[in-house]
Amino acid sequence: MAGTHQTTVRQRVGDVYDRWLLLRWLSKLVPIGVMLGLWEFASGRLVPAAILPPFSATAEQIVVLGSSPEFHGHATDTLFRGFAGILIATVLAVPMGLAMARNDRVRRTLEPIVSLTYPVPKSPLIPLVIFWLGIGNASRITLAVIGSFLPILLSAYNGADAVERELLWSARSMGVSRLEEVYEVVFPAAVPTVMTGIRIGLIFSFVIIVSSEMILAQTGLGVLVTDFGQFGQYSKVFAVIFWIAILVAGIDRIYLLVSSRLLAWSDRGVSGI
Amino acid sequence: MSASQGSVTAGESIGESIGTTLDYLKPLVGLVVVWELIATFELVPEQSLPHTYVVGETLLELTLEGSLLELAGVTVGRAFAAFLIAIVIGVALGLAMAQSTVIGWFFDPIISLGFPIPKVTLVPIYVLWFGFGTVPTVALAVTSAVFPIVIATYDGARGVKRELVWSARSMGVSRVGVAREVVLPAALPSIFNGVQIALFLSFVVVVVAEMVTAGGGIGQMLTESVRFFQTATTIAAVITVAVIGLVSDRLFRLFRGRTLRWTEDA
């Protein structure tokens, strides 16, 4: 009697828990829906529609824009620049960060440079880099590298620097060479931190690319924003912003999902502000 | 959170472990030498990279003339105003989210989805709403800077030990009182991490907004000087922003160290 009672309680708890997981997932969408609803309601009632076009008008433009090949071209350009930048920055910054953590000489050379440049805003370089490298891909990719390089470098340095000594000692005692040690011990131990650094780098590189496209460019999503803005087509501006939000937030979400899968072996996850 | 702490404390341990100013001067001297070599042998056209002394002269001239300091003052004022507003909004919202399940539930997805989105895209909308000049610039910087503060405050406040909150509540402290007297101090180290990123973002976004809207300040100086091929002026403006960013970061670290002296995280 008591046993059956227990199982039913457990089943019920389990049932509610399962549903709750799904509910929790769905409940995350509710606030977004509420905000969109407020937007729709406010437009034309609380504020003039000229200042805030209703969400329904924007939704129309979102569909129109999403199916236009011209928009696809701009979006591909921006995404290509962002990914190329982050790739180059990662390839350059991770080895440098590891070297900084493992070698005193490298550390003494690079530390002052990093601590002098890290807090400096990189956005003033946008006009200069465009002037030097032109209004095409070269300047944007360079800017993306500039924007994401230091967070990735520091994450690799921090991760490698925090490797437990016991790990290194035991590797050493097993006859591992210094280079093997970096490859086999230091790098894997630094990976969770590096993944966080890359996430921050990704965010920064898209900020700087879109900014630079809004300042001076021929293609890219930033150009669309300023062009529609200049012609006063505000529901189109909102539609572009929506797509940029979906793309960048989507990339961020996918990155978080993939990296938490990849880091399943580690007790640390990807985080980062 | 661990990562944000990592990146911030790394900067600090870097600063501490160096110690000697000589190590800091070396890269600066190296930069000037390489730059001057490139300029002397004209590896790039002079219009792209003027001699170091030309830039130095321009910097001195613009400073003595007063225009540089005036424009820098505009930019710094805007960034600082945005920074302060973002702190007030961000800390209040972060604490409220941690204290109330409903508020936390409502804002959590909005904040975590909104954080990676480049807020500069809002420039045309803010210009439509607030016109040109200081207001849209500050509003845009607040919009960007508030996110890291909310996230850091929320994370920090949720990490506060329940026992602390319970014992304060059992002693008859109100919910708001607990937030102010217990949660806020305990979350302060985390909040400072977010605030430091917000300081950086405020400057980045203010300069971008000034460049996009031609809204005065150093940003407009940058785009205009490039348009008229006054590269020396552009580089002088870049150096000015770099110095401002560096100095404000150092001051912030000092303040942070003072304020957090009682914690282990200082």
Full DSSP string of chain B: -HHHHHHHHHHHHHHHHH--HHHHHHHHHHHHHHHHHHHHTTSS-TTTS--HHHHHHHHHHHHHHSHHHHHHHHHHHHHHHHHHHHHHHHHHHHHHHHH-HHHHHHHHHHHHHHTTS-GGGGHHHHHHHH-SSHHHHHHHHHHHHHHHHHHHHHHHHHTS-HHHHHHHHHTT--HHHHIIIIIHHHHHHHHHHHHHHHHHHHHHHHHHHHHHHT-SHHHHHHHHHHHTT-HHHHHHHHHHHHHHHHHHHHHHHHHHHHHTTTSS--
Mean per-residue pLDDT, B140-159 = 94
Q: Which residue of B has its CA nearest to A223?
A: B121
Band of pLDDT at residue A1, cut at 50, 70 and 90 = very low
How far apart CA B225 and CA B50 sit, in angstroms, is 13
Name the residue with higher pLDDT: B164 or A66.
A66
Decide if pLDDT at B21 tops 60.
yes
Structural domains of chain A sorted by starting position, each given as residue range(s) with its CATH number in brackets: 57-262 (1.10.3720.10)
Instruction: List the single range of A6-20, B81-95, B100-114, B140-154 with lowest mean pLDDT.
Output: A6-20
Neighboring chain A residues of B202 at a CB cutoff of 8 Å: none
CB contact under 8 A, B3 and A127: no
A7: closest CA of chain B, how far (Å) = 31
CB contact under 8 A, B246 and A119: yes
Q: Which residue of B has its CA nearest to A245?
A: B117
Mean per-residue pLDDT, B167-184 = 84
Band of pLDDT at residue B15, cut at 50, 70 and 90 = low
How many Cβ contacts (< 8 angstroms) between chains A and B? 207
CB neighbours of A152 closer than 8 A, spacing ≥ 6? A89, A90, A93, A94, A97, A194, A197, A198, A200, A201
CB contact under 8 A, A112 and B249: no
Check residue B19 and give its pLDDT: 54
Of B106, B116, B222, the CB nearest to A252: B116
Mean per-residue pLDDT, A145-171 = 87
Mean per-residue pLDDT, B46-60 = 90
CB contact under 8 A, A207 and B118: yes
Number of H-type helices and E-type strands within chain A: 12, 0
Of A196, A210, A249, the CB nearest to B120: A210
Q: Which residue of B has its CA nearest to A270?
A: B3
Neighboring chain B residues of A28 at a CB cutoff of 8 Å: 108-109
> Which tokens sit at A87?
């790739």
Of A113, A251, A273, the CB nearest to B152: A273
Q: Which residue of B has its CA nearest to A193?
A: B3
B89: closest CA of chain A, how far (Å) = 17
> Which tokens sit at B35?
């730059």
Check residue B169 and give its pLDDT: 82
Long-range pairs of B250-256 with CB within 8 A, sequence gap ≥ 24: B250/A119, B252/B195, B252/B196, B252/B199, B253/B11, B253/B12, B253/B15, B253/B196, B256/B192, B256/B196
> Which tokens sit at B237?
């403006």
CB contact under 8 A, A222 and B121: yes
A102: closest CA of chain B, how far (Å) = 15
Name the residue with higher pLDDT: A179 or A192.
A192
Instruction: List the single range of A71-85, B2-16, B95-109, B199-213 with lowest mean pLDDT.
Output: B2-16
Of A27, A116, A226, the CB nearest to B24: A116
3-state secondary structure of A47: strand
Q: How many residues does chain A have?
A: 273
Long-range pairs of B15-18 with CB within 8 A, sequence gap ≥ 24: B15/A115, B15/B253, B17/A111, B18/A111, B18/A112, B18/A115
> Which tokens sit at B114?
């909104």
CB neighbours of A268 closer than 8 A, spacing ≥ 6? A192, A193, B2
Q: What DSSP string runs through A122-185?
A: STTHHHHHHHHH-SSHHHHHHHHHHHHHHHHHHHHHHHHHTS-HHHHHHHHHTT--HHHHIIII
Q: Which residue of B has its CA nearest to A105?
A: B23
How far apart CA B8 and CA B217 sit, in angstroms, is 29
Decide if pLDDT at A141 tops 90.
yes
Check residue B265 and give its pLDDT: 56
Mean per-residue pLDDT, A60-86 = 95
How far apart CA B223 and CA A127 sit, in angstroms, is 6
The percentage of residues in chain A with a pLDDT greater than 90, rounded to a whole number, is: 55
How far apart CA B154 and CA B157 sit, in angstroms, is 5
How far apart CA A249 and CA B113 sit, in angstroms, is 6
Task: Using alpha carbons, select from B199, B211, B214 the residue that is nearest to residue B246.
Answer: B199
Q: What DSSP string runs through B37-61?
A: HHHHTTSS-TTTS--HHHHHHHHHH
Mean pLDDT: which of A75-89, B25-39, B97-111, B214-228 is highest? A75-89
Decide if pLDDT at B162 tops 90.
no
Instruction: List the single range of A92-96, A187-191, B233-237 with lowest mean pLDDT.
Output: A187-191
Mean per-residue pLDDT, B148-159 = 92
**Residue B33: alpha-carbon gap to chain centroid:** 30
Neighboring chain A residues of B105 at a CB cutoff of 8 Å: 27, 31
CB neighbours of B140 closer than 8 A, spacing ≥ 6? B82, B119, B120, B122, B123, B126, B205, B206, B209
Mean per-residue pLDDT, A66-72 = 93
Neighboring chain B residues of A126 at a CB cutoff of 8 Å: 208, 211, 222
Neighboring chain B residues of A108 at a CB cutoff of 8 Å: 23
What is the rounded average pLDDT for all residues in chain A?
Answer: 87
What is the rounded average pLDDT for all residues in chain B?
Answer: 87
Check residue A14 and give its pLDDT: 65
Check residue B12 and give its pLDDT: 52
How far apart CA B262 and CA B240 sit, in angstroms, is 35
Decide if pLDDT at A3 tops 50.
no
Residue B173, sorted as left (phi over 0), alpha (psi -120 to 50) or beta, turns out to be: beta
- The CA radius of gyration of chain B, in Å to the nearest whole number, is 22
Mean per-residue pLDDT, A111-121 = 90
Band of pLDDT at residue A2, cut at 50, 70 and 90 = very low
Specify the DSSP class assigned to residue A231: T
pLDDT tens-digit readout, B96-128: 999 888 999 899 999 988 998 999 999 999 999
Neighboring chain A residues of B115 at a CB cutoff of 8 Å: 203, 273
Mean per-residue pLDDT, B222-231 = 91
How far apart CA A252 and CA A270 sit, in angstroms, is 11
Name the residue with higher pLDDT: A210 or B168.
A210
Instruction: List the single range of A235-244, B7-16, B69-78, B197-206 with lowest mean pLDDT.
Output: B7-16
Predicted complex ipTM:
0.84
pLDDT tens-digit readout, B228-249: 989 999 999 999 999 999 999 9
Band of pLDDT at residue A162, cut at 50, 70 and 90 = confident
Name the residue with higher pLDDT: B45 or B9.
B45
Of A34, A215, A240, the CB nearest to B211: A215
Decide if pLDDT at A157 tops 50.
yes
Check residue B264 and give its pLDDT: 65
Band of pLDDT at residue B144, cut at 50, 70 and 90 = very high
Mean per-residue pLDDT, B206-224 = 92
Neighboring chain A residues of B212 at a CB cutoff of 8 Å: 211, 214-215, 226
How far apart CA A243 and CA A246 sit, in angstroms, is 5
Of B7, B106, B211, the CB nearest to A127: B211
Distances (CA, A) of B222 to A114, B106, B214: 24, 41, 10
Band of pLDDT at residue B56, cut at 50, 70 and 90 = very high
CB contact under 8 A, A131 and B208: no
CB contact under 8 A, B10 and A157: yes
Mean per-residue pLDDT, B213-239 = 92
Check residue B20 and give its pLDDT: 65
